[in-house]
Structure 1
Amino acid sequence: MAEQYKSLHPIKYYRDYLAHEIRPDGREFNKFRPIILNVGSLDTADGSAIAKVGQTTVVCGIKAELCKPKAESADKGFIVPNLELPPLCSSKFRPGPPSDQAQVLSQLIADVIENSKCIDLTDLCIFPDKLVWCLYIDFICLNFDGAVVDASVIALMGALKTATLPVVNYDAALDNIQVDADHRKYLTIHSTPVSTTFAIFDDKIILADPTVEEEDLCTGILTIVVKNDDELCCVHKPGGSPLPDEDLFKCIDVSVERVPLLKKLIETSIKNVTN
């Protein structure tokens, strides 16, 4: 009977729960779902990780290729992130070109990488104006159940912190490249961004770590990215209900409080593999 009521009147179904300060899945408004991170999952990638936030599951794989830098940034490499939302992850998506949502989320992840400066592009330079690394960072969502950016950023950091690149020797005089695949080095990671998504319900109730049902029924979505414990990196709110400054600051505080926990989760996952 409850499922029929939910199907026929989804918004009223949620309002009945939220009126008692609890969500249909039993969580309080600021309660987060369990998080699982597994690194080094893909043998064919230079770095990889699988992150699971509740039922939302994202795989991140990093593949490095040698290329020539741009003339205007001769000492900088490239980072090319791309998020796929295939029909496999949800009936919301269809086969074919990337959906608008996938393109928006890919750009958001690119902004997180750039604003957090977790990777210094000059670290990817092998020889100025001649040879640099290009990191293709591909994300595939296996199960779409809300807060996909949060899962993607966790998977991103797990993949970056375990990624290794082969040692490359370049002779500029002979334009000769020698790749030593037997000797590899880790990337230098300069910060650890953490993403937290909130849903705004009925223009006033803020729900942390929303499920896909909550995202579909909400009147606004807010994603906050914090780095290095308390530095605000990115605030993304694509339209929807306006959010008073007081509520925005509360969301930022909640996001900051999560950083040490998620950083510890990432570091623990990495130690389990490297030790």
Structure 2
Amino acid sequence: MAAGYKTVEPLEYYRKFLKQSCRPDGRGLSEFRTTTINVGSITTADGSALVKLGNCTVICGIKAEFANPAADAPDKGYIVPNVDLTPLCSSRFRPGPPGEEAQVASQFIADVIENSQMIQKEDLCIAVGKLTWVLYCDLICLDYDGNLLDACVCALVAALRNVQLPSVKISEDTGLAQVDLSTKSPLKILKKPVSTSFAVLDDTYIVVDPTDEEESLATGLLTVVTDEDGKLCTIRKPGGSSLSAERLQECISRAVSRHKEVQALLDEVLLSVKTQ
């Protein structure tokens, strides 16, 4: 009976829970799903991480390659993110070129990298005007269940912190790159952004970490990205219900506290990997 009611009147079904300050999955309005992080699971990548937010699962693999620097930025490298939403993760996606949602997610990740200044592109330069690193950051959604952006940002940061790059020198005699695989060093990560997403339901209730179903019922969406200093890196609000300054500040405050939770979890995971 309840399943049938949920199918016919999904919003009314949710209202009964929201009025009690909870959700059908048992979470409170400001409660996240269980978050799990695994790093270094792709041995063929230079850095990798798998992140799960409830059922939403994203894996990030980073491949470092040589490239010629741009003429107008001879001392800078490149970071190229790409989000892939395949039919494997949800029936809503189709084979072929990246759809609009994948393109929006890829641009969002690029904006987070740029706005947070998590990596100085100058640190990717090997030889000014001659050689630089390009980091290809491929994010693949394995199971789509809402809140894709939070999972992607978390997977990206975890994978970047897992990257180990070999020592590279340019031979004075041949002008070719000499790679020393026996000497590797981690990337210099200056900032560690964390994304926190919200959904506005029934123009009234604000919930964090929305599921796919909650996103489909939402009258507004909001994503806030903060760094470890509590500074805003990016705010994304693609239309929908407006938020008062007070409610927006509440969301930002929750994002700051969420950053501490994710940061503590990620530090713990990376520490356990180092001690293995």
TM-score (norm 1): 0.98
Question: Shift of the alpha carbon at 1:173?
Answer: 5.9
CA contact (8 A) 1:229 1:259 kept: no
Structure 2: which amino acid aligns with 1:26? G
Query: Matches of 2:253 and 2:246 in 1, distance apart?
Result: 11
Q: 1:238 to 1:173 in 2, by over 3 A?
A: farther
CA contact (8 A) 1:51 1:151 kept: yes
Query: Matches of 2:130 and 2:172 in 1, distance apart?
Result: 8
Query: Matches of 1:269 and 1:199 in 2, distance apart?
Result: 29
Task: Kindly report which structure 2 residues correspond to 1:18-97, keeping only aligned pairs within 5 A, or say none.
Answer: 18-97=18-97
Other-structure match for 1:247: 247
Structure 2: which amino acid aligns with 1:159? A
Task: Provide, for residues 36-89 of structure 1, a one-character-per-residue CA deviation record: whole Å limited to 9, x for no partner.
Answer: 000001000000000001111000000000010001110000000000111111
Task: Provide, for residues 231-257 of structure 1, a one-character-per-residue CA deviation record: whole Å limited to 9, x for no partner.
Answer: 111100111111111111100000011
Other-structure match for 1:218: 218
What stretches of structure 2 of length at least 5 have no aligned partner?
Answer: none
Other-structure match for 2:232: 232
Q: 1:113 to 1:187 in 2, by over 3 A?
A: same
Other-structure match for 1:141: 141
Other-structure match for 1:150: 150
Question: Shift of the alpha carbon at 1:23?
Answer: 0.7
Query: Matches of 1:23 and 1:4 in 2, distance apart?
Result: 17
CA contact (8 A) 1:75 1:125 kept: yes
Query: Matches of 1:109 and 1:145 in 2, distance apart?
Result: 18
Task: Kindly report which structure 2 residues correspond to 1:126-137, keeping only aligned pairs within 5 A, or say none.
Answer: 126-137=126-137
Structure 2: which amino acid aligns with 1:267? D
Question: Shift of the alpha carbon at 1:6?
Answer: 0.8
Other-structure match for 1:256: 256
CA contact (8 A) 1:229 1:260 kept: no
Query: Matches of 2:239 and 2:41 in 1, distance apart?
Result: 36
CA RMSD of aligned residues (A): 1.0
Q: Which moved more, 1:87-96 or 1:169-178?
A: 169-178
Query: Matches of 1:161 and 1:123 in 2, distance apart?
Result: 14
Question: Shift of the alpha carbon at 1:162?
Answer: 1.1
1:73 aligned counterpart, secondary structure: coil
Structure 2: which amino acid aligns with 1:235? I
- Tell me the number of residue pairs that the alignment of Structure 1 and Structure 2 aligns: 275
Other-structure match for 1:166: 166
TM-score (norm 2): 0.97
Determine what percentage of the aligned residue pairs are the same residue.
51
2:154 aligned counterpart, secondary structure: helix
Query: Matches of 1:232 and 1:15 in 2, distance apart?
Result: 32
CA contact (8 A) 1:193 1:225 kept: yes
Task: Provide, for residues 79-105 of structure 1, a one-character-per-residue CA deviation record: whole Å limited to 9, x for no partner.
Answer: 000001111111111111111001001
Question: Shift of the alpha carbon at 1:193?
Answer: 0.4
CA contact (8 A) 1:157 1:266 kept: no
Query: Matches of 2:214 and 2:172 in 1, distance apart?
Result: 56
Query: Matches of 1:32 and 1:249 in 2, distance apart?
Result: 19
Q: Which ranges of 4 or more aligned residues in structure 1 deviate by more than 2 Å?
A: 171-174
CA contact (8 A) 1:166 1:181 kept: yes
2:168 aligned counterpart, secondary structure: strand
